[in-house]
Amino acid sequence: MCLAIPVQVVSIKDSEAEAEIGSVKRRINICLTPEVKVGDYVLLHTGYAINVIDEAEARETLRLLEEIASLSEIH
Amino acid sequence: MKFIDEYRNVELGKKLIARIHQRSTQPARLMEFCGGHTTAILRHGIRQLIPQNIDMLSGPGCPVCVTANADLDKAIASAHLPNTIITTFGDMMKVPGSHSSLQQAKAEGADIHVVYSTQDALQIAQDNPQSSVIFIGIGFETTAPTIAASILEAEQKGIKNFYIFSFLKLCPPVIKAILNLGEVRLNGIIGPGHVSTIIGSHPYEFIPKEYGIGCVISGFEPLDILLCIDKLVEQIEGDQPQVEIAYRRSVKPGGNRRALDLMNEVFEIGEANWRGMGTIPASGLKLKRKYQRFNAEQIFSIDPGPPREPKGCICGEILRGIKMPTECKLFRRICTPEHPVGPCMVSSEGACAAYYQYGVN
Ligand code: SF4
């Protein structure tokens, strides 16, 4: 029910946008994420974007995971 | 897919698991509150990969499952109102109420549409101006802003035949209720990732402060969940319970301000009726006075009669974390996804359905 999937916004018109899901384009509602820009990834939940995914934080988490992994090798 | 595949990296996962094994020495009982986590944990076999001293319980975080029969019965009864179209998320169709289900009502001729979004429900209302269109509003804080948005859109577009049941529920109050019940001793909580995308991390601060255990908000991919478990283990071993976000690409401490504003515009906090836990004060969302004309319970006279619980079903205890699906005598033998006895076997994120699908005996 709280399922949400990352999709990329490919065009925006007022409170509606088009997002690419796999290779399919779908209309999504962006009234909860007024800051969204074309090219951003959003989490899509029941037809609404519920946030804009923070790419910098995503990279940071992956860096942290790599770091943890390398630490566990030393032990 | 971007933001999914990277978090399924098997090599990194193995190393993270090794690290959890190295660091975890004490018995730790963790509860994942979100049904989406229960499903992900079983799908990826995470319970089997982590150390045996870590026990994982599922909680009350499946909206379909926690909807009380009394509420479900109202929705089913409303399907028989004249000139009425019911719109609902698909998971609700097969849930057995006290006497019937939406699926059965549909077979008996009721006009029921499964929708993916409130946007679709609004469209149906616009296309059928002569009918009353009722949307069955279930869900947590993730879904509430989308329902609020649909109410505001109906208002703005002058759609006069759109109504909702608000059976919406809130996560932090039910976490508190479970902790107050004290039936299970928990050492840490896996916080719901998408609820927290909306509400942020601040509403969980009471957990370490009042109950002395940590809450780490997690995403839904295997590496997200392992990272969350790793952080909880670190907190438990160091005896430093706190609220942390292990899903930073989505969750900000303050949540989504715009979504919270819309939710607060349309709804106010009220009591809610939870399966297995009864009425919990200040744990649900009700339409504000200003928006009562959208309130199906107010507008239509619906009397489904007193609710009945399915005999032998222990969903309520499973939702409180005190029993496992496999402890239900009906599990797999009588109760299956094709013939569900209780809601926990219907919803794709119900604990019974997840245990069934991923072959846990
Ligand atoms: S297996 Fe079926 S009957 Fe048993 S608790 Fe789960 S849903 Fe209820």
Rounded Cα distance between B154 and B156, Å, is: 5
Whether the predicted pLDDT of B361 surpasses 70 = no
Three-state SS for B120?
A: helix
Residue type, B234: E
Do B81 and B184 belong to one domain?
A: no
B85-131 pLDDT, tens digit each: 999 999 999 999 999 999 999 999 999 999 999 999 999 999 999 99
pLDDT computed for residue A75 by the predictor: 52
Do B162 and B78 belong to one domain?
A: yes
pLDDT computed for residue B44 by the predictor: 94
Three-state SS for B114?
A: strand
Q: What percent of chain B has pLDDT over 90?
A: 98
Phi, psi angles (nearest 5°) of residue A31:
-70, -15
| Paired tokens of B17 | 């698991």
Residue type, B132: S
A48-69 pLDDT, tens digit each: 999 999 999 999 999 999 998 8
Do B81 and B98 belong to one domain?
A: yes
Whether the predicted pLDDT of B161 surpasses 70 = yes
pLDDT computed for residue A73 by the predictor: 64
Do B50 and B69 belong to one domain?
A: no
pTM, entire model: 0.96
Instruction: Please check whether residue B246 lies inside any domain of the structure.
Output: no
Q: What percent of chain B has pLDDT over 70?
A: 100
Phi-psi category of residue A56: left, alpha or beta, with phi > 0 → left and psi -120 to 50 → alpha: alpha
Range of the domain at A15: 5-74
Does residue B349 belong to the interface with chain A, where contact is any CB pair within 8 Å?
Answer: yes
Q: Are B145 and A33 within 8 A, CB to CB?
A: no
Identify the residue whose C-alpha is closest to ligand 1 atom 6: B352
Do B44 and B193 belong to one domain?
A: yes
Task: Supply the CATH number for residue A25's domain.
Answer: 2.30.30.140
Domain count, chain B: 3
pLDDT computed for residue B187 by the predictor: 98
Do B341 and B322 belong to one domain?
A: yes
Does residue B235 belong to the interface with chain A, where contact is any CB pair within 8 Å?
Answer: no
Q: Looking at this predicted complex, what is its ipTM?
A: 0.94
Identify the residue whose C-alpha is closest to ligand 1 atom 7: B342
Do B226 and B332 belong to one domain?
A: no
Whether the predicted pLDDT of B221 surpasses 70 = yes
| Paired tokens of B24 | 């975890």
| Paired tokens of A71 | 């630490």
